Amino acid sequence: MTTTPSRTDLLVGLAHRSHAVIREHQHHTGAYPASPAFSAYRGYAWLRDGGFIAEGMSRYGDVASANDFHDWVDRTLGARRSQLDEVLALRTAGAPVPPSLLLPTRFRFDGADGDDEWWDFQTDGYGTWVWAVVEHARRHALDVSRWRAGIEVAVDFATAFWDQPCYDWWEEHDEQRHVSTLGSVVGGLEAAQGCGAITGERAEAARVAVAGARELALAEGVADGHLTKWLGSAEVDGSLSACVVPFGLVEPSSALARETLAAVARDLDVDGGVHRFRADVFYGGGQWLLLSALLGWNLVRQGDVDGARHLLEWVADHATDTGEMPEQVDDHLLHPGSRAEWVERWGSVATPLLWSHGMFLVLADELGLLEETSA
Ligand code: BGC
């Protein structure tokens, strides 16, 4: 007798597949490539993507994979110590810092800068990585001091530059100060302080930065009762959910958190697929799997398990026949006329995007679907 697998079995199967996809593409150095075959991302690893991918692998129980990634970041950032010290000395002296000296957003797998032009100078990934490595160490009772050199570099960079305009999660608008970037920095710096990975003057400077970032976000990054895309804007962005969970820029039980999640859902969630922001023209402005999972993660924490499950199912329904997850899908495009130019420029949408798989693992775990799993 054959039985049809249940919806839950299919979701669990896709979690195993997500783990396998990430494992298959993890570079031998430990780096997680953003998307192995996509023209514009090939050969590069991002701290932002990687932090969330590592969180998914850590939750799945693949301690070795997450360790390898965190070791890679630790080596990569540790090797930037003298570069960062030079930057910090210029900053302390009030001298201009040449952009080429600032730490990059993405790295080659050997830890080097790339040769291609990129939208460098983004502080969020440094916060995200610190948050992820601290979570991983706590979850698996590991000694976080193993990653201290990298954590110190990331913390010093974020502490020195959190208040500067920079590119956002989507590598856009470097003239603005983005609330999700502030949230990512706060999440990382608070995690580092909370676990004792940083001490003394470094911890004190991080504490001051956290207080400043939170105060600024609450003073200038709120409109109509919700957090906004950047300071002074009234718009929302799908990444704002992260300011609630996991980064805790705002207290998850607060009205501001609830209103932010409600505004993201109202403005950007179409049938379970979450857009980045209303003006998004990248590949026509489709729905991003990782943002559906991020909203779902928040809904679980708000007690809306059915809503979260709906989002997980939407993500699952948009995997390819071979179980690979794209960056975005085109069921509902905000600016359909802008799609072709991107396909022409960079080819079809990045697939698999390892960050999509990592976020699927996170939400599957939040919903209790990984309980029996151990890599
Ligand atoms: C996204 C970034 C992401 C990068 C690599 C870009 O298109 O905007 O958020 O880090 O791709 O996945």
Secondary structure string (H, E, C) spanning 56-117: HHHHHCCHHHHHHHHHHHHHHHHCCHHHHHHHHHHHHCCCCCCHHHCCCCEEECCCCCCCCC
Contacts of residue 21, Cβ cutoff 8 Å, sequence gap at least 6? 323, 324, 325, 352, 354, 357
What is the rounded distance in angstroms from the CA atom of residue 74 to the CA atom of residue 150?
4
Look over the chain and give the mean of its residue pLDDT values, rounded to a whole number.
97
Q: Residue 34: CB within 6 Å of ligand 1?
A: yes
Strand partners, 275: 287
Transcribe 11-45 into DSSP letters.
Answer: HHHHHHHHHHHHHHH--TTS---S-SS-TTTTTEE
Each residue's pLDDT tens digit, 170-213? 999 999 999 999 999 999 999 999 999 999 999 999 999 999 99
* Contact (Cβ atoms closer than 8 angstroms) between residue 260 and residue 227: yes
Give the three-state DSSP class for 170.
Answer: coil
- CA 355 to ligand 1 center in whole angstroms: 9
Provide the Cα torsion 155, 157, 159, 162; round to 10°.
-130
The tokens for 1 are 């007798």
Q: Of 333, 298, 294, nearest to 314 (Cα)?
A: 294
| Nearest to 86, CA basis, from 172, 173, 156 | 156
Nearest to 113 by CA among 123, 131, 99, 128: 99
Residue in 132, 137, 129, 70 with CA at minimum distance from that of residue 104 = 129
3-class secondary-structure state, position 274:
strand
Name the amino acid, one letter, at 167: Y
Report, as residue numbers or ranges, the catalytic residues. Answer: 168, 171, 327
Confidence of residue 96 (pLDDT cuts 50, 70, 90): very high
Per-residue pLDDT at 3: 78
Q: Which of the four pLDDT bands, split at 50, 70 and 90, describes residue 348?
A: very high
**Is residue 1 pLDDT above 70, yes or no?**
no
pLDDT at 4: 85
Please answer whether residues 168 and 124 qualify as being in contact, where contact means their C-beta atoms are separated by less than 8 angstroms. Answer: yes
Say how far apart CA 201 and CA 335 lie, in whole Å: 48
Q: Which helix (H) or strand (E) holds 286?
A: none
Tokens matching residue 361: 């693992």
Q: What is the pLDDT of residues 81-94, one digit of tens each?
A: 999 999 999 999 99
Q: How many residues does the chain have?
A: 375
| Ligand 1: residue whose CA is nearest its atom 10 | 49
Cβ distance 36 to 346 under 8 Å?
Answer: no
- Which residue's alpha carbon is nearest to atom 6 within ligand 1? 170
> Which residue is listed with tokens 């601290």?
134
48 alpha carbon to ligand 1 midpoint, in Å? Answer: 8
What pLDDT score does 373 carry?
A: 60
Pocket test residue of 327, 328, 345 for ligand 1, highest count of atoms within 8 A of CB? 327
For the record, the structure tokens of 201 come out as 């003057």
Q: How confident is the model at residue 13 (pLDDT cuts 50, 70, 90)?
A: very high
Residue 162: count of CB within 10 angstroms of its CB: 26
Q: According to the model, what pLDDT value does residue 374 have?
A: 54
Q: Is the pLDDT of residue 134 over 80?
A: yes
Backbone angles phi, psi at 276, to 5 degrees: -75, -55
Instruction: Please state the atom number of ligand 1 nearest to the C-alpha of residue 327.
Output: 12
**Ligand 1 binding pocket mutation candidate from 171, 178, 276, 356 (most atoms within 8 A of CB):** 171
Beta bridge partners of 287: 275, 329
| 38 close to ligand 1 (CB < 6 Angstrom) | no
**CA–CA dist 120, 72 (Å, integer):** 20
* Contact of 154 with 98, CB cutoff 8 Å: no
Q: Which band of pLDDT confidence, cut at 50, 70 and 90, is reported for residue 370?
A: very high
List the chain domain ranges: 24-161, 254-370
Residue 375 pLDDT:
56
Q: What is the mean pLDDT of residues 132-153?
A: 98
